[in-house]
Every structure is written in C-alpha cells, then in structure tokens.
C-alpha cells in the first residue's frame, strides 16, 4: 500500500533542499509551527499582525519566542509569489558618477528602508550594456514600481511600458505624463538670479542644461523670469546650453568669454558643469569672484572645497527621492501624481560670488 506522504513538515523534498543540514539554517514557517505546536497559518498571521486573528496572549508569545529561537526569516520569494508584491522599488538614474543622483538615492534609500521596501538602483548606462536590458532587471515582478530619474529614449520608454510596471518620473516630466514628482526649479533659479542682482550684477549669463532636458527648461524659465522682474534683459547670447558635465560647463564658459560683451556673473544650472566653469575661468585667468561671479544649482559637499568655494542653491534632493518612494509605495498604479517638492530651498553663499568690479 502506498502510504500517503506523512504530514506537515515531513513531505518529500527535492534533493537540493536536503533537511538535516542545520548549517544552511533554512528555517521555514512549518518548522516554527511544529515547534510552537500551532498551525503554520497561525504563525503567518502572528507575523503579519493579522487584525482578524484572535489568539491567546500566551500562544502568541510562544510563537514569537519560537521565531526568535529558530532565527526564522520569512522567504521573500514565497511571499512575493503568494501576494504578487515584491516590496522592492526600482530606481533608474543616468549615471552614478553624478553627485546630484547620489543625494536622490540617499533620500530614496532611507525612505524605502522606513517603509519596509528594498531599493534597486540601476543606471541607464549600465542597463543599456546588459543583455536583457530592462526586462531581466525590472520585469518579471522583481519590483513593484519603477522610479525614473534618467533620460530614457523613446524606444526605452517603450520597453519600460511593455513591462507593465507602475512607474513615476523623478525630477523630470516628459511626454505630457501625470506621473511625476519634481523640484521647484523655477523658484530655485529665481533665487540664484536675485542673489546676483542683489550684489549689483546686471549682465548675468546662464549656462543652461541640455535643450532637451525638462529640468534645464524649467531652470532657464526661472532665470528669464527673474531677469525680467529685476528689469534686466536676458539677451539670447547670455544663455548657453551645455551638458550637465564638467566638460560641458567648460566649453560653455569658453564660449561666454569669447562673447563681445562679457557678463559679470553666471548662473550655472548644475554643479557638475560649474566645476568645468571654474576650470575654464582659471585657465583664462579670469578671477573668481573679482572678475566673474559664479553660482550653481544644487549644493554638494564638493562645492565647499572647490577653488574658490562655490556659492550654490540648495534644493531638497533627498526629500525628492524620499517623496518619490513614498508615492510609489502608497499610490495606485494609475493614480495621477503631479507633485512639486518645494520645501527647503536656500542660497548657500560661499566665495564664488561678490559685487561686480566697479571699473566695469
């Protein structure tokens, strides 16, 4: 007679999961239930704080103690399979080397931890190199949601959409979507211009980001509007578009220095570009801030140690990352999300800005 497989916990196991190897320490719900003398469904409900569970205090205590004693850790895969949620959030950034994203990641990571989520950060660059692209990484239910801080091409957005994973744009709003969270770039830009105006500058240039970038557009608008408010004209030759990189900033500054009428101050839309701007001025023997004031969007530790120390606009980048995670974790996949993080924006005055030379 073929005996039915013996009861709970004694069922046949595939070779690779051999029991009796306590070294591996694979403790399951069943092990806990067996030792605590209850059903595994009870253990599960204790762990998940099921409000519909009524249980005697001492039974609960016994279960909890057994979990502790065996060092039980729930299996993420089993739980994901059952609940169809991974408790992971993906974050796609353009480049790990850009310190702006480091701030966003930090905020996102901390908030994810608080909400019991894991954060899986990848760079567009890295993903592009890999074989399966987004599919391997973010498809297959690996993440519950995807935060997009990168510059995805149309084809890439297509691929992402095919994954059918809820997504949210961070720090940009492309393609007329209603799923984004951004900073108040216009306001920040306005403050930068106002700082320079207050110092007495009138010919203020703007090294803007790439023309295609949404952030660049918003910062440029903030700049032109603040110029108008101050009764100054933002002549087209005062605005140069450049990549958000040191090399981009350097080239833009060179161009600005070659202009017929030199500005006395420049507002750079990105701190990475500003590094290149300072370098270009150094090479051209233009003294900062005596002959040229420089202020840049985004404050970083680095700014304090550049030569000279860089005046910046501090934006709540960490809060942006945190907010994005929170929204992703709490909103439905199709809820419209259109948020602007405004809170602490301030000018951090350092050595790179001063009144213009009087003999100008």
The footprint of a copy of itself on residues 62-91 (CB under 8 A) is 71, 73-81, 84, 86, 88
Binding residue (CB under 7 A) for DNA from 13, 23, 301, 334: 13
Question: On the CB side of 66, how many CA atoms lie within 13 Å of its CA?
Answer: 24
291 binds DNA (CB under 7 A): no
Q: Please, which residue, 45 or 323, has the CB nearer to DNA?
A: 45
1 binds DNA (CB under 7 A): no
- Least distance in angstroms from the C-beta of 324 to DNA: 25
Q: Which does 235 bind (CB under 5 to 8 A by kind): DNA, a copy of itself, none?
A: none
351 binds DNA (CB under 7 A): no
Q: What DSSP string describes 85-146? A: ---EEEEEES-TT-HHHHHHHHHHHHHHHHTT-EEEEEEHHHHHHSSSHHHHHHTTTT-SEE
253 binds a copy of itself (CB under 8 A): no
48 binds DNA (CB under 7 A): yes
94 binds DNA (CB under 7 A): no
- Least distance in angstroms from the C-beta of 234 to DNA: 56
Q: Which does 50 bind (CB under 5 to 8 A by kind): DNA, a copy of itself, none?
A: DNA
Strands of 204-208's sheet in order across:
239-241, 204-208, 265-268, 293-297, 311-314, 346-348
* Pair 242, 207: CB distance under 8 Å: yes
Q: Which does 259 bind (CB under 5 to 8 A by kind): a copy of itself, DNA, none?
A: none
How far, in Å, CA of 259 to CA of 64, rounded?
A: 73
Q: How many CB atoms lie within 10 A of CB 244?
A: 24
Q: Give Cα separations from 158 to 155, 165, 177, 336 (angstroms).
A: 5, 12, 14, 20
Q: Which does 357 bind (CB under 5 to 8 A by kind): DNA, a copy of itself, none?
A: none
Q: Which does 54 bind (CB under 5 to 8 A by kind): DNA, a copy of itself, none?
A: DNA
- Tokens representing residue 169 in the block: 């744009």
Q: Give Cα separations from 334 to 144, 159, 166, 178 (angstroms).
A: 13, 18, 7, 9
- Tokens representing residue 104 in the block: 């966003």
Q: Please, which residue, 213 or 317, has the CB nearer to a copy of itself?
A: 317
Q: Please, which residue, 136 or 335, has the CB nearer to a copy of itself?
A: 136
- Tokens representing residue 208 in the block: 């803007």
Q: Please, which residue, 131 or 301, has the CB nearer to DNA?
A: 131
Bridge partners (DSSP) listed for residue 240:
207
The interface with a copy of itself within residues 179-238 (CB under 8 A) comprises none
Binding residue (CB under 7 A) for DNA from 23, 84, 301, 334: 84
The interface with a copy of itself within residues 7-36 (CB under 8 A) comprises 16-17, 24-25
Query: How many residues belong to the site for DNA (CB under 7 A)?
Result: 39
11 binds DNA (CB under 7 A): yes
Cβ-based burial of 331 (10 A; exposed 0-12, middle 13-18, buried ≥19): middle
Strands of 88-93's sheet in order across:
118-123, 88-93, 145-148, 167-170, 179-183, 337-341
- Tokens representing residue 80 in the block: 């994901």
Q: Please, which residue, 50 or 65, has the CB nearer to DNA?
A: 50
* Pair 89, 120: CB distance under 8 Å: yes
Instruction: Map residues 54-83 to x or -, x wherever contact with DNA holds by CB under 7 A.
Output: xxx--x------------xxxx--xx-xxx
The interface with a copy of itself within residues 102-161 (CB under 8 A) comprises 102-103, 105-106, 109-110, 112-114, 116, 118-123, 125-127, 129-132, 135-137, 139-142
Q: Kindly give, in sequence order, each residue whose CB lies less than 8 Å from that of residue 180, ignoring residues fewer than 6 positions away.
A: 168, 169, 170, 172, 173, 337, 338, 339
- Tokens representing residue 213 in the block: 């970038």
Residues that bind DNA (CB under 7 A): 5, 8, 11-15, 17, 26-30, 37-42, 44-45, 47-48, 50, 53-56, 59, 72-75, 78-79, 81-84
């Amino acid at each position: 007679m073929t005996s039915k497989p013996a009861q709970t916990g004694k069922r046949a196991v595939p070779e690779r999961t051999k029991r009796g190897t306590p070294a591996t320490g694979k403790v399951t719900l069943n092990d806990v239930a067996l030792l605590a003398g209850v059903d595994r469904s009870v253990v599960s409900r204790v762990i998940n704080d099921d409000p519909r569970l009524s249980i005697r205090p001492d039974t609960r205590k016994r279960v909890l103690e057994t979990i502790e004693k065996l060092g039980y850790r729930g299996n993420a895969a089993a739980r994901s399979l059952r609940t169809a949620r991974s408790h992971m959030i993906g974050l796609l950034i353009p480049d790990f080397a850009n310190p702006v994203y480091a701030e966003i990641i930090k905020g996102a990571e901390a908030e994810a931890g608080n909400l019991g989520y894991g954060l899986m950060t990848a760079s567009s660059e890295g993903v592009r190199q890999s074989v399966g692209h987004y599919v391997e990484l973010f498809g297959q239910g690996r993440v519950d949601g995807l935060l997009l801080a990168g510059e995805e091409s149309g084809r890439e957005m297509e691929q992402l959409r095919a994954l059918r994973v809820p997504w949210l744009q961070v720090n940009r709003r492309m393609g007329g979507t209603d799923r984004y969270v951004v900073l108040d770039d216009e306001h920040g830009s306005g403050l930068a211009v106002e700082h320079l105006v207050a110092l007495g500058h009138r010919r203020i240039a703007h090294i803007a980001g790439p023309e295609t970038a949404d952030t660049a557009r918003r910062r440029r608008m903030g700049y032109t509007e603040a110029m108008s408010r101050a009764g100054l004209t933002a002549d087209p030759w005062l605005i140069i578009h450049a990549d958000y990189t040191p090399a981009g900033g350097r080239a833009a500054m060179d161009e600005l220095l070659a202009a017929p009428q030199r500005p006395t101050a420049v507002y750079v839309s990105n701190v990475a570009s500003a590094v290149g701007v300072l370098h270009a001025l150094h090479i051209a023997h233009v003294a900062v801030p005596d002959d040229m004031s420089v202020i840049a969007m985004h404050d970083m530790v680095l700014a304090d140690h550049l030569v000279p120390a860089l005046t910046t606009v501090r934006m709540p980048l960490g809060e942006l990352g945190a907010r994005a995670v929170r929204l992703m974790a709490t909103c439905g996949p199709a809820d419209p999300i259109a948020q602007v993080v405004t809170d602490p924006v301030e000018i951090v005055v350092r050595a790179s800005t001063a009144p213009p030379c009087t003999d100008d």
